[in-house]
Amino acid sequence: MFEEFVDAISTMKEQEALAIARRLVDAGEDLMQIVERCSQAMEIVGKRFEAGEYFLPELMMAGEIVKQISEMVKPKTPGGAALTKKGTVLIGTVEGDVHDIGKDIVAFLLDVNGFKVHDVGVDVSPAAFVKAIEDYQPQVLGLSGLLTVAYDSMKNTVRAIEEAGLRERVKIMIGGGQMSENVRKYAGADAFGKDAIAGVTLAKTWTRRSL
């Protein structure tokens, strides 16, 4: 049944996937096994996205299915608590930029891939990012921006993090429409994510090393 479950999610058969999930939960199957199979399905979807077989609508649809399954599983965990997360990611759109669609997609996909995500919103000042790092202790920081004004804001944010003595604690990735490897170097970030899946992959790689 687990193979059918993974296939139903990765091919966006929503009703079938939810029905199988319900049967697995009702049968008392290991909840972590269910969650792990959801992650496996999202890995398949991500690879198909990278290969050009799937596009953003498929990516979001699969994510929505996994989110519904997660909500189904949570009440069955002790005290209804959230399942153990892979790591913590802080994400926000930098100062001077109010675009949030790309940021929201990345935050959503990080969440359904098992990360604890703190989204601090848009037009976030360097000082606000520094405070959020102190408050949430993330392993990964995602700086989002669509406009060219974001270049300097990203650089200023990284500098503020360095000045606060927090740079060694967090890996920083940037992303957004105008972002590139050259901007990454200019800002002093650790990596550039060309799309949402790249951002999730970076977060997985970095948190595996730090946890």
- For 99-108, how does the pLDDT look when each residue is reduced to its tens digit (9 = 90+)? 887 898 899 8
For residue 89, list its beta bridge partners: 117, 140
Residues 134-181: tens digit of each pLDDT: 999 999 999 999 889 999 999 999 999 999 999 999 999 999 888 999
Residues 58-82: tens digit of each pLDDT: 988 998 999 899 888 877 765 444 4
Q: Are strands 171-175 and 191-192 parallel, antiparallel or unpaired?
A: parallel
The pTM for the full model equals 0.77
Q: Which of 77, 50, 54 is nearest to 200 (CA)?
A: 50
All structural domains of the chain: 2-80 (1.10.1240.10), 88-210 (3.40.50.280)
